[in-house]
Structure 1
Amino acid sequence: MAFSATKSVLALVAGVAFDDGLLRLDEPVCGSVELPQFADERGRRITWRQLLDQTSQWEGELWGKPTGVDAQSVREGTESAGGPPGEGWAYNDVRVNLTALALTVLMRRPLPEVLRAHVMEPIGASGSWSWHGYGNSFVDVGGVRLPVVSGGAHWGGGLWISALDLARIGQLCLHGGEWAGRRIVSRRWIEALWTPCAVKPEYGLSWWLNDGRVVWPQAPSTGRCARGNGGNHLLWVDPARDLTLVSRWGADVEALVAAVSEAVRPC
């Protein structure tokens, strides 16, 4: 299980929609997707950027799980509960699941199919990875019942992937969306993933940014990462060192990143 590193992969799938012209970051989700979650006054104001940088502040229930059940939003303590979209931040898996639902409706395909065809096969990934939702997470799109994956590992679901395949994703992002000279995802989207959120500067579009060494003081400020389970599952990307590092079930991951970074000179 990749745990919450799945969120960063979800954002990479959103890049496929972005590159195809289906998604514009600062436009309301309701402009391209019809779902009841975006039909009320607050929902109509939520943009794709706010879904992906976790500032939507959406309140509701999805797949039988209300937003308040995710203790992370309480633990982070940075959210103004019930405030306007874009003005508060919370690390909330129910809202991330809403992002996965909206993207599934937008792309009219299960997201694992999109990831496989547009990213994993082109970068030579194995066929061993899988991405799951819940027993009740389905949506009807044009009369077709589609499964909806989860964006994390709360209550099951999430991305199951080997360290090597996760490293391939890191290399793709490290090289600005190119793989072996082939453009897979636009450089513009990779730059968007790593653009600081106005409300939470150490967070981009579902990627953690170590600018100012806020996330990990011992690690270089040039690092960007997808991480899960408190950082015990890590994909670390450092463009300054041309470095991709993957760690699973690490005991002291920050020390590992710091030691490897010290051994690799900046380019």
Structure 2
Amino acid sequence: MGSGRDSADLEAILGAVVRAERRSTPGIEDMAAFHAAQVGDLSHRDVVGPLLPGGGASGLVSCRGTILAEWGDVDRPEMCFSVTKTVLSALAGVAFDRGLLPDVHAPVETTVDVPVRLGPELTWQHLLQQTSGWAGELWGKPADVDAQSLRDGGSAAYAEPGAEWAYNDVRVNLLALALTVLWRRPLDEVARTELFDPLGASTTWSWHGYRDSVVTVDGVELPVVSGGAHWGGGLWISTADLLSLGELFLARGSWHGTRLLSAEWIDASWWPCSANPDYGYLWWLNDRQRVFDAAPSSGRCARGCGNRHLVWVDPSRDLVVVSRWSDSVELLVRDISTAIPASPA
């Protein structure tokens, strides 16, 4: 088969892109008002991290290393919302590869000393798969007020670790706290030196926590970033830089001859969780076509803010799609996937 450009139906891809641009999410220029409408818990709606106004729809389509389509301002940093979670997973992977986290099945509290009670059964894998069932409080936000958990079929109350999957920003923030203590460095610094600088990313991205999210390590107070943007903060990064992250996972952790993540970690990240087969290590898996029913089952994705931010990776097509601030993004993924034939098995 020829290059991505030769084998793809470029006219169909262009049409899909034009339609995605027309579905630009309204209201994002006033992020405070837009964000307030997304938060379901009435008792803890106060935003404790910074917000960034949205700049409109943007995106990139890359197939076999060739850019097939681009729209909007792909160099403008945008809030990532829950796409941030996948970057946390990648940093856990780098720690695993470096021997800092030799066993994801180990209890977190025997690996690091964090200033909250975890319990001896709670492991790193539980945090990575969102099956921790942790019912504590971080930075003034109790886990049981996170309405996402209830909306997505889980419980925000305590559950035995591993017994139940629940999408919960407080519990993801617990992972960010644990990883900060594990690395003994702020995670934005770790992301810069271990991930984004080696990827050749721009210098425009930033990663934010909450106004009081800090932890003392070796007598030094370190900021702790948030793993999402339920209450503000999270990763702010451009579409172009997110494309590099998607292509790293497509290349199974190797970047122009340099290994940034092990293939073992990529496989673990994309292995279905027993409590939710549509989820891996903070990655969504479309194996059962329940993430996007009209998209290929070979796709994996990082997504946030109701799919308005998406990094779609399809190894069967050597395809990466990044979409920002476009509604009904599943239509974009469906149409682009239809226009690009899968490689022979």
Superposition TM-score tier, normalisation by shorter sequence: over 0.9
Aligned to 1:212, which of 288, 300, 311? 288
Structure-1 residue corresponding to 2:40: none
Deviations 1:59-89 (A, max 9, x none): 1110011011210011112338422100011
The Cα of 1:214 is off from its aligned counterpart by: 1.0
The Cα of 1:165 is off from its aligned counterpart by: 0.2
Is 2:329 aligned against 1:253?
Answer: yes
Q: How does 1:3-82 map to 2 (within 5 A)?
A: 3-23=81-101, 24-39=103-118, 43-79=119-155, 81-82=157-158
CA distance in 2, matches of 1:80, 1:3: 19
State the SS of the aligned residue for 1:204: coil
| Structure whose alpha-carbon radius of gyration is higher | 2
**Unaligned stretches of 5+ in structure 2?**
1-78
CA distance in 1, matches of 2:216, 2:154: 35
Structure-2 residue corresponding to 1:113: 189
State the SS of the aligned residue for 2:212: strand
State the SS of the aligned residue for 1:126: coil
Q: Aligned residue pairs: how many?
A: 264
Change (3 A) 1:56 1:65: same
Is 2:298 aligned against 1:222?
Answer: yes
Identity %: 59
State the SS of the aligned residue for 2:210: strand
Q: Please tell me whether the aligned partners of residues 29 and 38 of structure 1 are also in contact (alpha carbons under 8 angstroms).
A: no
Deviations 1:140-173 (A, max 9, x none): 0010110000000011110000000000000000
CA distance in 1, matches of 2:327, 2:109: 43
- Which of 140-149 and 13-22 deviates more? 13-22
Q: Please tell me whether the aligned partners of residues 38 and 46 of structure 1 are also in contact (alpha carbons under 8 angstroms).
A: no
Aligned-partner residue type, residue 155 of structure 2: E
CA distance in 1, matches of 2:197, 2:286: 30
Is 2:272 aligned against 1:193?
Answer: no
Aligned to 2:252, which of 172, 176, 189? 176
Structure-2 residue corresponding to 1:159: 235
Q: Please tell me whether the aligned partners of residues 202 and 214 of structure 1 are also in contact (alpha carbons under 8 angstroms).
A: yes
Deviations 1:43-71 (A, max 9, x none): 22100000010000001110011011210
Q: TM-score, normalised by structure 1?
A: 0.97
State the structure with bigger RCO (CA 8 A, min sep 6), 1 or 2.
2
Aligned-partner residue type, residue 203 of structure 2: G
Q: Please tell me whether the aligned partners of residues 4 and 227 of structure 1 are also in contact (alpha carbons under 8 angstroms).
A: yes
Q: Please tell me whether the aligned partners of residues 176 and 186 of structure 1 are also in contact (alpha carbons under 8 angstroms).
A: yes
State the SS of the aligned residue for 1:205: coil
Q: Please tell me whether the aligned partners of residues 154 and 167 of structure 2 are also in contact (alpha carbons under 8 angstroms).
A: no
Q: Please tell me whether the aligned partners of residues 80 and 88 of structure 1 are also in contact (alpha carbons under 8 angstroms).
A: no
State the SS of the aligned residue for 2:191: helix
CA distance in 2, matches of 1:15, 1:248: 25
The Cα of 1:15 is off from its aligned counterpart by: 0.7
The alignment yields a C-alpha RMSD, in angstroms, of 1.0
Q: Please tell me whether the aligned partners of residues 167 and 235 of structure 1 are also in contact (alpha carbons under 8 angstroms).
A: yes
CA distance in 2, matches of 1:240, 1:27: 33
Q: Please tell me whether the aligned partners of residues 177 and 187 of structure 1 are also in contact (alpha carbons under 8 angstroms).
A: yes
CA distance in 1, matches of 2:127, 2:229: 18
State the SS of the aligned residue for 1:146: strand
CA distance in 2, matches of 1:82, 1:101: 19
State the SS of the aligned residue for 1:55: coil
Structure-1 residue corresponding to 2:219: 143
CA distance in 1, matches of 2:112, 2:320: 35
Q: Please tell me whether the aligned partners of residues 307 and 327 of structure 2 are also in contact (alpha carbons under 8 angstroms).
A: no
Structure-1 residue corresponding to 2:34: none
CA distance in 2, matches of 1:80, 1:163: 32
